[in-house]
Structure 1
């Protein structure tokens, strides 16, 4: 049985990707963009499928620059599994598949999500492309 923090972290995985899809597909999604950006811890870092490490500043710039630029994008999340928990964080693994123009690109991702006072904030993300 999941703890409350585990459930909040898994819910955050789904919500965050719904918001990403909205930001990328709808040109005027400022309210959703703000929800998305406040979901990241100020010290957030990410390792991309190409092996590059990026900071929150780079992630924020990406969302601002590409808002509304990916019409038809659909992001599917499944297989969300809790790998480990501490009193204030949850480590989740999930599969993320981007569908656009008849092409599907999938990746496995591992996210460290801090949950404090029932608020989930993403601290770290590592993505690995699925060939």
Structure 2
């Protein structure tokens, strides 16, 4: 049985990717999705991209703004979700993320650290690794 915190983290992973899809496709009231998306990251958020670059919150925010509606055919699927750590201030989990866009498929493993403050998830760290085809 998953704990409440584990369920909150799982739902956060699903919601964030739905909001990313809304923003990148420019569909489903993307402006509201963008607001929820940006509100889900810690101001000290950092990530390592599939290309090995690091990005902070400001760079990720800029990326989302620059890509509004840029990928109208994008669909993101999440599977392989696994809880790695349930600690006092947050959780760490891993999941597989598959992007389908205009006939192309890109798959990656992602590991995320999510801080939980009064059951409010805030993404603190994300590390993405491309899965070789």
Contact 2:19 2:30 (8 Å CA) reproduced: no
Hey, what's the Cα distance between the residues in 2 that align with 1:23 and 1:128?
22
Gaps of 5+ in 1: none
Counting only pairs closer than 5 Å after superposition, residues 6-85 of structure 1 correspond to structure 2 as 6-26=6-26, 29-85=30-86
TM-score by length of 2: 0.95
SS of 2:2's equivalent in the other structure is coil
SS of 2:14's equivalent in the other structure is helix
1:2 match: 2
Hey, what's the Cα distance between the residues in 1 that align with 2:78 and 2:8?
15
- Cα offsets for 1:28-71 (capped at 9, x unmatched): 62111000000000100000011111000000000001111101
TM-score by length of 1: 0.97
Deviating above 4 A after TM superposition, structure 1's stretches of 4 or more consecutive aligned residues are: none
Q: CA RMSD in A?
A: 1.0
Q: How many residues align?
A: 131
Hey, what's the Cα distance between the residues in 2 that align with 1:103 and 1:111?
25
